[in-house]
A and B are shown apart, each in its own frame.
Chain A
Amino acid sequence: MNAVLEAFQMVATTEVAIAILASAVYGMVIGALPGLTATMATALLVPVTFYLSPIAAIATIITSSAMAIFSGDIPGALMRIPGTPASAAYTDEAYAMTRKGQAEVALGAALWFSAIGGIVGTVALMIMAPALAEVALSFSTYEYFWLSFLGLMCATLVARSSPIKAIAAALLGLLVTCIGIENPGGVPRFTFGMTDLLGGIEPLPALVGVFAVSEIMRAMTSAPPPPIPHRPLGSILAGQWALTRRYNKQMWRGNIVGVLIGALPGAGADMAAWIAYANSKRFSKEPEKFGTGHPEGLVESGAANNSALAGGWVPATLFGIPGDTITAIAIGVLYMKGLNPGPTLFTEKASSMYALYIVFIIANILMIPLGIVMIRLSRHVLRAPRAAAMPLILLLCAVGAFAIGNNPFAVVLVAVFGVIGYVMERNGYPVAALVLGIVMGTMVEQTFVTSLIKSDGALLPFFERPVSAGLAALTIAALAWPVLVWMLRRLRRAEPAR
């Protein structure tokens, strides 16, 4: 109890309060700019943390990353540019809602369920960290292979097109991940002697290209759509309580998926959002509405990506293993500040851990008022004339891509993927499946090949370990189920014709 009181004292200082507030605003802005990710927001804070007390330093990282993951939804919903890879899973859905004139519902849902997801994730971190860490540590490459394969199979679910075209798009994504030297063999593939291709294709430029640039190209070739009726944006939170009650089950499922996937090192908020969105559609009573501006999937995946953020701190604080790229940076700061990750952090430095939990909760509560302000400020984008908005968005895409690594090649990539995305969508191939292939491909290959190296080429170990066997069963069931349904439906449809 003493430790909890001490923790409150540690948080209740002017320095920490200013740190939280400033980094909240900062994270909101960075996340909302297309191409600038939550990871980048965190990385740029590191030099600042040199000058802060330990709790204030950690608070800036927690707060800015939580805000950035939420505000990445804003450009996604308003302009179809996912601000961070974690919002790519439901960008199309949110954008469709905006086109239906429901921007405030879409963004309100993103905000409300992000905050809830963040708080649930923190509570899970508080009461279950050691148990979750145990699960995370039992994952070897065999388990990761099945998990990433499951993630890849979401391709047919995140799209509204025919499954064949979705699979084709995902395979194209897998082909893209073959580029570069960062494969298990350490051999350059498809680089054509170009240095820039050695490191492979990062998901972010591809993401910005296929979503945003292709949208701009479409806008240039088509007549302007009927303008969205000019009306004041409705109350942002009004409808959310009703949504919470209506999609209560989905929200909890999203939270649980988020915490579990977040706690696994190497799988972060991005994967959690994809899997949650796919789950939502798979178990929905009205899957046909998905992709047309239906809030159900938004609720589940919006909750999942923020709870994953908290889940990522489990292996980070207990074993110093990063749960995602953000905690990878946070671990460095923990060491710097003498809060070395390990079980002793929970015993000897318990008050610091409690302080960390308190910061998490404050950040997620603070997200709601700040988020409302941010949404109200950014909605003006919708009223801007297309001729003014589109060039500006294109410029933002280029700047965002360049900012990732100060490498002009990323800008070229954005343009190339813009063309690819445009051609694909023109022909009914879902770009979301392509992005999923790029996000998951490296992990599928890496885990499959290293597992085979470890097993001397035998396939049996993929099914031998208990967790691995369970995940394999899940994968095979998920693989067989749609085929069965499809065949049954075909049979039924074929019969009356006979």
Chain B
Amino acid sequence: MTQFTRRGALAAGALAGFAPLARPALGQARYPARPVQVIVPWGAGGGTDATARIVATLLEKEMGQPFNVVNRTGGSGVVGHSAIAQGAPDGYTIGMITVEICMMHWQGLTELKRTSYTPLALLNEDPPGVQVNASSPYQDVKALADAIKASRPGQFKASGTGQGGIWHLALAGWLGAMGLRADHVRWVPSNGAAPAMQDLAAGGVDLVTCSVPEARAIIEAGRARSLAVMAPQRNPQFPNVPTLNEALGINYSVGAWRGMAAPLNTPPAIAQALTAALQKVWNSDEFKTFMNARGFGMTWGDAAGFAAHMERTDANLGAAMRAAGLARG
């Protein structure tokens, strides 16, 4: 840890030393002087990987140096998130961090948390939805909520991701907001949203709380229906699906998000340059086309906005995890 800060201090010192020599504009032009490494904590081919790769391609166009995506997998995301935090804070190691950074420390899996990074920008957030089988008797989320309230604990089964995953916490939070225990609906862990949606279509579970884009293909195939989204606004791509607030008057929202971050103590000038470039990327037509095609929600937050967003998520998820008995210590 001492070395960590010493290196940070050195970098900052070096930058301060050069500062009188260069005007801010020139200082920005100097970074990046060589290729930048973009660490992705998840495997090649997934949604996070695809997003990071398009962002890297567009950043390269914006900043004139290659941005190389490196997948650092393992440890359920811990390995890659650590690699970003422990990178040299010189702007040449950045990475895409995901909502798991606000969950893993509550489970006692790592010391890393949101404050271990220099936030650069929030790029995307996908809120959870409530999906049921197409032949389910519940036509709207109110009917489902009433049935859940009237059911005995454990009678309803829900799925969407692994035990303690983001969609599990979404369910726990929603049940809590309705005044029910977090395990009133039993969670059936799955290997992600696609297998859960398949099990929903096969009649194996009663509801799935993954994001609506993840459920899209099965919904469009007429095998499932989406009853609500747990978000402040409706999703413009699925305008017929109401929000929980509209349907039940419950103002609960927690989503899976992705953002870019740099190691702690990255020089502010570099961080600001990256945030500015990321904003241009986020506003570009290429990025919009990509996100819309994949059905990913577009949410922007600059460095301060991202930090505030992480703080909110962290508190929300911590509460949900304690309620579900998943938090430690």
Contact = CB atoms under 8 A, between A and B. Distances in A.
B174 to A, nearest CB: 19
B220 A344 contact: yes
B232 interface: no
Interface string B168-203: 000000000000000000111111001101110111
B58 to A, nearest CB: 10
Contacts of B109: 181, 188, 198
Interface stretch (A91-99, A290-298, A446-454): A446-454
B326 interface: yes
Nearest to B220: A342
B7 interface: no
A329 interface: yes
Interface string A156-182: 000000000000000000000000111
A186 B43 contact: no
Size class of the contact patch on chain B: 35 or more
Nearest to A449: B189
Interface string B38-58: 000001111101100110010
A393 interface: no
A343 B221 contact: yes
B201 A50 contact: no
A196 interface: yes
A335 B189 contact: no
B293 to A, nearest CB: 5
A199 interface: yes
Size class of the contact patch on chain A: 35 or more
Contacts of B301: none
B306 to A, nearest CB: 25
Contacts of B54: 47, 50
A335 B295 contact: yes
Given A47-B53, A195-B78, A321 B43 contact: no
B110 A195 contact: yes
Nearest to A142: B204
Interface in A326-357: 328-329, 331-332, 335-338, 340-344
B293 A338 contact: yes
Contact of A404 (B73, B162, B191): B73
Given A138-B202, A332-B294, A43 B76 contact: no
B75 A321 contact: no
Task: Name the prevailing secondary structure of the A interface residues.
Answer: helix
B217 A321 contact: yes
B188 A453 contact: yes
Given A188-B109, A454-B204, A321 B218 contact: yes
A378 interface: no
B294 A336 contact: yes
A199 B165 CA distance: 14
Contacts of B201: 137, 319
A405 B110 CA distance: 19
A318 interface: yes
B79 interface: yes
Nearest to B202: A140
B253 to A, nearest CB: 23
Nearest to A184: B189
A196 B74 contact: yes
B157 A454 contact: yes
A320 B194 contact: yes
B162 A182 contact: yes
Contacts of B203: 140
A203 to B, nearest CB: 14
Interface in B125-166: 154, 157, 159, 162-165
B202 A139 contact: yes
A140 B204 CA distance: 6
B199 A320 contact: no
B198 A319 contact: yes
A265 interface: yes
A319 B195 CA distance: 11
B103 to A, nearest CB: 11
A325 interface: yes
Contacts of B18: none
Contacts of A138: 202
A487 to B, nearest CB: 38
B184 to A, nearest CB: 14
Contacts of A410: 74
14 contacts: A42-B45, A43-B49, A50-B54, A140-B202, A186-B162, A186-B164, A199-B76, A329-B44, A335-B293, A340-B220, A343-B221, A405-B72, A405-B74, A407-B72
Interface of A: 39-40, 42-44, 46-47, 50, 136-142, 180-182, 184-188, 195-199, 265-266, 315, 318-322, 325, 328-329, 331-332, 335-338, 340-344, 404-407, 409-410, 446, 449-450, 453-454, 456
